[in-house]
Structure 1
Amino acid sequence: MKALELSFKGSDTRIKHLRLKYVNAELTPAEVESLMKQIATAKLFAKDGVTLYAEPHAANIVETTKTALVSAKPAVPAV
């Protein structure tokens, strides 16, 4: 699965992350940067007086893979 991980500096200068799943993996850096600026300008996310996504910091496409270590056993019907 691919996800877009956006990192922002909050108004408290700490780094906050926003991960969006099922995104178009072919977004251009300019499109993502524009989106991040819009999120920061909107100031939609705040907690205890701290704006969580105040300033864009970084963006990454994150790919996750699943590797089975133990396979599930079929259920045995009760007699």
Structure 2
Amino acid sequence: MKKLQLTFKTAEGHKKDLVFNYVREDLDAPTVKKAMDEIIASKLFEKNSVQLYTEVVAAKYVERVETGILEKDLAI
């Protein structure tokens, strides 16, 4: 499963990620940018009076791949 990771700058200039687990995998850059701009405009996300999402930095799909090396059977 791919996740969508949106990276923003906070009002203090730090990077902050917003990750969605269940997303369409065919989103294009203009669609994602528009959604990120709407998140910024909503001003819904704040911590200690600091806006968490104030500037678009990046967006990417992230996929985790696991490769097993060793697994102990725990059945009794």
Q: Same fold (TM over 0.5)?
A: yes
TM-score by length of structure 2 reads: 0.91
Bigger Rg, structure 1 or 2: 1
Query: What is the DSSP-based 3-state SS (H/G/I as helix, E as strand, rest coil) of the residue aligned with 1:75?
Result: coil
4+ residue segments displaced more than 2 Å: none
Cα RMSD of the aligned pairs, angstroms, is 1.1
Q: 2:40 aligned with 1:63, yes or no?
A: no
* Count of paired positions: 76
Alpha-carbon distance in 1 for matches of 2:74, 2:44: 47
- In structure 2, the gaps of 5 or more residues are none
In 2, distance between residues paired with 1:52 and 1:6?
12
**Structure 1 unaligned runs (5+)?**
none
Correspondences of 1:1-79 after superposition (within 5 Å): 1-76=1-76
Structure 2 Cα separation of the partners of residues 66 and 72 of structure 1: 16
Letter in 2 for 1:26: D
